[in-house]
Chain A
């Protein structure tokens, strides 16, 4: 039998998990749905974004939620020249660590800068939310961050 007669099949394995998010991440996701970026006060007044229930350094309970952004600075980034099917954008984009204004930690998200030549560490970016009616309380409610000169939306 020639090799070409070997069969070939496409399979899909999937699990429909859902998880409870708890009071702090729940508040963060609710904020996203409302078009707001929320962090939480950690020990010593630092602001953690995305917020956690415990300060990752001291293990103490975190405090009040505080609004951060909508702008921030790119700390570092990696360019995705050929997006794969499950990537958040179908055109080339950057994964970036973004330190939002008012935050002391960086948030991992997408920067839609049009090309790698339009992006550098330290660049100012701002959030672009999905339209209000499409937001469900998930990270993808943020469509992308964009260079601040282009302005955001949502």
Chain B
């Protein structure tokens, strides 16, 4: 970058700043808005398919299997099961969490769809499939309609879930 504050003669231009930026508006839609508004209240909201009975969280507003709108709102438990996980040891630009950390798929009790969460309060070498966890939320006055309302998941004092209970969700 040329330094145009320097009163000395400037050297030749060798670098060019070429930032790129995309400003965009995002509307998550009605179904996902319910999920996000649930996060603002500190609860996980899903929707149940009237045909197959599966509960999706977050719901896209329709059942991908049956092709029907999901209209029944379901409040899910604050606890769930780790189905799969990954220990992140590799630093990368923009990383906001101290490595190593655990990224896991969490299947909330009552849900038929897992989603990704950060696992904390456990050494990374003790993480395992089937581990029971609970969501830890930000302080009530910091809740927003965003997944940032969930600080992380942490282990709870319960026996691991039986593999049979979550093998469909791997």
Contact = CB atoms under 8 A, between A and B. Distances in A.
A13 B27 contact: no
Contacts of B92: none
Which of A7, A8, A10, A133 lies at the interface centre, i.e. has the most chain B CB atoms within 10 A of its CB?
A: A7
Interface stretch (B13-21, B81-89, B107-115, B131-139): B13-21
Interface size range of chain A in the complex: 20 to 34
Contacts of B14: 20-21, 26
A7 B12 contact: no
Question: Looking at chain A's contact residues, is the secondary structure mostly helix, strand, loop, or mixed?
Answer: mixed
Question: Looking at chain B's contact residues, is the secondary structure mostly helix, strand, loop, or mixed?
Answer: mixed
A20 B34 CA distance: 47
A7 B28 contact: yes
Contacts, number: 91
Interface in A10-34: 10-21, 26-27, 29-30, 33
Contacts of A7: 27-28, 32-33, 36-37, 145
Interface size range of chain B in the complex: 20 to 34
B97 interface: no
A9 interface: yes
Contact of A137 (B16, B21, B30): B16
Contacts of A138: 16-17
A5 B33 contact: yes
Given A16-B17, A33-B2, 15 more contacts: A1-B34, A6-B30, A7-B37, A8-B26, A10-B26, A11-B25, A12-B24, A14-B21, A15-B20, A15-B21, A16-B19, A19-B15, A19-B16, A19-B18, A27-B12
Interface of A: 1, 3, 5-21, 26-27, 29-30, 33, 133-138
